[in-house]
Amino acid sequence: MQHIHRLLLFLGVLLFLASCKEEKIVQVESGFVLTSDSLSYHIKEQFDKWTVLMCQDQLPYMDTLEHYYSQRDYSPIWWDEITGDSASWESLRKTIAHSTTHGLDSLNYHLGLIDYYKNLVPEMKTSDKAYRTLAELELILSNMVLVQYADIANGRTDPEEVYGYTYMLPRNNLKDLELWSYLEQNNKSQFLDKIHYGDTAYVELQALLEVYLERKEAEENQTIDFSKYPKLEEGDTAEVIPLIVKRLQGKMLPDSSVLNLSSDTLVYTKKLKSVIRELQEMYQLTPDGIMGFKTYKIINASSSDKINQIQANLERQRWFKKPKKGPFVYINLPKYEIEMHWEDSAKSRRVCIGKNLPDNYDAMVKEYTDSGWLYKLPRNMETPQIASKISYLVINPTWTVPYSIVKREMWWRLVSDSTYLRNKGFKVYKGKEEIRSESIDWSKVDKEKIPYRIVESPGPKNSLGTVKYMFGNPFSIYLHDTPSKSAFKRTQRAVSHGCVRLEDPILFGEFLMQNSKEYDPDDFRIMMGYEPKDPERLENYDPTDTLATIQELEETTSINLDKRMSLYLDYRTVYFTNDWKPRFCYDIYNQKRLILEALNN
């Protein structure tokens, strides 16, 4: 019996020692002792009675955390970090600061408030206050690391809140969040970096960000004052020329060849012009070698400007990722380029997009709102970001002129010249009835209630050219040919009323025929009045054969696709070439600003 009593006593001691090992103890400067077990009680109490300085809407994971902590009897996760282990605390701070490598500001995760709470504990006069403070800090930390995880995985912002109804791309890069698993990771930074590991564009943007963060630390940002020089051309003499050369050399722009320039002359030399033209082409500006506002902006751009641009594009990448597998159509609006992706290859061609708003548009909105002259505001013609599917095309299309264009751009011609519409190939309809345009006294028509439709007849001079490609969207946007081919020679091609003009509408139609069971690419070419490409078919081709199954179309004709073609209109001001060299686009719609404001809200 005595033997059994000693054995039970021994087992009791072992259990006591084991419980002591599990419980963590720390003594604060005020002299009292804190234990992890006692903190568990206060953590549980925090879920019932929130006393923290932060609002609960800034702590979105309280419900998730309550479930998580209840499964671990409310034992703290961050005991070592918040009770004085400097190595653990520094590791935690580095994890939160690691958000910078993903283009996110670590201040968004309340490091300052976290430091404030941590420094309060040693000053507490009672253990009860110390426990409450530690419990609040515990849950703030848990919330913040989960917020950081979600931001890096799926984006900190909602594109529909940033851009409103003009953003229609899918959130196709969303990740399933493993919240509990993340809380238990020892190396959280490594876990975060693996989230986008297979996304080459994201990883390359991160690497580019690292380059410019290092440059920012090293550079001395001295802005050049160009106020005396609205523009500079070859042969001009200006005191800013040496400063321009030195600044370009410091940035290695456009490449290392800039080091061959001399900074000892005030003359805008032929060699400098060559460098400026390369720089302009790199940034999607007209490469004419004439320096003006936009070129000056690039020259004066600091690493901070590039960092902001990369941060905005990282957020875009978290929203939407370009598909890897064709067929599909992808348009990068600020690059002014359309990509046609077959299953095993791709081709690109130039496009023109909608005109950008004036730089002072926000000020104009305020001015005209206050004065009641909102009708004077310029119409927003910027091409929206859309995901849709091309369902059909129209050969020899007509064009019904939007009333906004009639009122803003055609009205004075209608009033002053009764033959204008007939001479330009337009017809006028009232309901379904055609009206002689010369019979209308436009000066007596209410400009705000126009009872007529103005329709441009089909033909090569039609504003839509000879073919248009249709896809569902609420903006009446489509892709089309154009008789105005000269715009494609420009580097900046934001010239349309919102639709996308195609440099090579015939190649695009050939591309779409892979989704037609009835027609092949050569059928489309013949219907458009072009010879077939297939050598055998070309040998037997006779455009005058009126009995041929496929002939050139002269009437307005719609052709439906049996399978709709996926289309994406995106906006990326940082992109990569096929060999992953980075390129920056001029932010023609100034959209970076909206993302950065939302990221740092």
- The DSSP code for 358 is P
338 near 330, Cβ under 8 Å? Answer: yes
What does the alpha-carbon distance between residue 237 and residue 320 come to, in Å, rounded to a whole number?
48
Dihedral over Cα of 505, 506, 507, 512: its sign: positive
- The pair of three-digit structure tokens given for residue 14, joined into one six-digit string: 């072992």
Whether 254 has a pLDDT exceeding 90, the answer reads: no
Least confident of 13-22, 154-163, 195-204: 13-22
> Which segments of 258-401 does DSSP mark as H helices, in order?
270-282, 293-300, 303-319, 361-371
CB-CB contact of 495 with 482 (8 Å): no
pLDDT in tens, 311-364: 999 999 999 999 999 999 999 999 999 999 999 999 999 999 999 988 777 777
Q: Which long-range contacts (CB under 8 A, 24 or more apart) does 153-159 make?
A: 153/177, 153/195, 153/318, 154/318, 155/315, 155/318, 155/319, 156/104, 156/108, 156/315, 156/598, 156/599, 157/315, 157/595, 157/598, 157/599, 159/319, 159/320
Judge residue 507's burial from the number of C-beta atoms within 10 Å of its C-beta, 0-12 exposed, 13-18 middle, 19 or more buried.
Answer: middle
In this structure, the number of other CB atoms found within 10 A of the CB of residue 177 comes to 16
Pick from 280, 198, 284, 201: which is nearest to 580 by CA? 201
- What is the pLDDT at residue 569? 98
Number of DSSP helices (H) and strands (E) in the chain, helices first: 23, 18
Beta bridge partners of 232: 291
- Would you give the DSSP letter of residue 126? S
Which residue type is seen at 493?
A: R
221 pLDDT exceeds 80? Answer: no
For tokens 């943007």, the residue is 205
Q: Which residues contact 126 (CB under 8 A, 6 or more apart)?
A: 32
d(Cα 146, Cα 130) in Å, to the nearest integer? Answer: 24
In this model, does residue 51 exceed pLDDT 70?
no
Question: DSSP characters for 48-91?
Answer: HS---SS-GGG-TTHHHHHHHHHHTTT--S-HHHHTT-HHHHHH
Cα–Cα distance measured from residue 401 to residue 437, given in angstroms and rounded to the nearest whole number: 14
**Coil vs helix vs strand at 33:** strand
Record the tokens describing residue 382, joined without a space: 């910027």
Distance CA 146, CA 167 (A): 27
The pLDDT-based confidence of 12 (bands split at 50, 70, 90) is: very low
Q: Which of 387, 332, 353 is nearest to 577 (CA)?
A: 332
Asked whether the beta carbons of 567 and 323 are under 8 A apart, the reply is no
Q: Give the separation between CA 82 and CA 189, rounded to whole angstroms.
A: 19
Is residue 388 within 8 Å of residue 474, measured between CB atoms?
A: no
Q: How far apart are the first and last CA of the chain?
A: 73
Q: Residue 139: phi, psi to the nearest 5?
A: -80, -30
Residue 290, pLDDT > 90, answer yes
User: In this model, does residue 468 exceed pLDDT 90?
Assistant: yes
Number of C-beta neighbours around residue 586 at 10 A: 19
Q: Quick check: 523 pLDDT over 50?
A: yes
Is 17's pLDDT higher than 80?
no
Pairwise CA distance, residues 431 & 572, whole Å = 43
- Residue 283 is predicted with a pLDDT of 83
CATH class of 321-397+462-570: mainly beta
- Give the tokens for residue 356: 């950008």
Query: Where is average pLDDT lowest: 238-242, 365-369, 380-384?
Result: 365-369
Q: Are 155 and 108 in contact (CB under 8 A)?
A: no
Q: Choose among 172, 33, 148, 163: nearest CA to 94.
A: 148
Name the percent of the chain in helix, strand, coil, to the closest 5: 45, 15, 40
Q: What is the mean pLDDT of residues 41-46?
A: 91
Looking at beta carbons, which pairs linking 399-408 to residues 24 or more positions away fall under 8 Å? 399/455, 399/456, 399/462, 399/463, 399/464, 400/453, 400/454, 400/455, 400/456, 401/426, 401/454, 401/455, 401/456, 402/476, 402/497, 403/450, 404/379, 405/497, 406/450, 406/454, 407/447, 407/448, 407/450, 408/379
- As a whole number, the mean pLDDT across the chain is 89
Q: Which of 525, 558, 519, 518 is nearest to 543 (CA)?
A: 525
Q: Phi-psi category of 336—alpha, beta or left, where left has phi over 0 and alpha has psi -120 to 50? A: left
Q: What is the pLDDT of residue 18?
A: 41
Cβ–Cβ contacts within 10 Å for residue 344, how many?
Answer: 7
Q: Quick check: 276 and 254 in contact, CB under 8 A?
A: no
Closest CA to 353 of 336, 340, 339, 332: 336
Percent of the chain at pLDDT > 70 equals 92
Q: What is the mean pLDDT of residues 387-413?
A: 94
CATH 2.40.440.10 residue ranges for the chain = 321-397+462-570
Closest CA to 263 of 237, 244, 235: 244
What is the per-residue pLDDT for 438? Answer: 92
Cα–Cα distance measured from residue 4 to residue 513, given in angstroms and rounded to the nearest whole number = 90
Task: Find the mean pLDDT for residues 262-283.
Answer: 90
**pLDDT (tens digit per residue) in 58-115:** 889 999 999 999 999 999 999 888 887 788 888 899 999 999 999 999 989 988 888 8
Residue 477: pLDDT over 90: yes
Among residues 593, 583, 594, the alpha carbon closest in space to that of 334 is found at 583
Higher pLDDT, 173 or 219: 173
Give all strands (DSSP E) within 203-264, no chain letters: none
Q: Between these two residues, 281 and 190, which has the higher pLDDT value?
A: 190
The proportion of the chain whose per-residue pLDDT surpasses 90, expressed as a percent, equals 66
Q: How far is CA 219 from CA 254, 392, 521, in A?
A: 17, 53, 54
pTM of the full structure:
0.84
Q: Which helix (H) or strand (E) holds 385?
A: strand 385-395
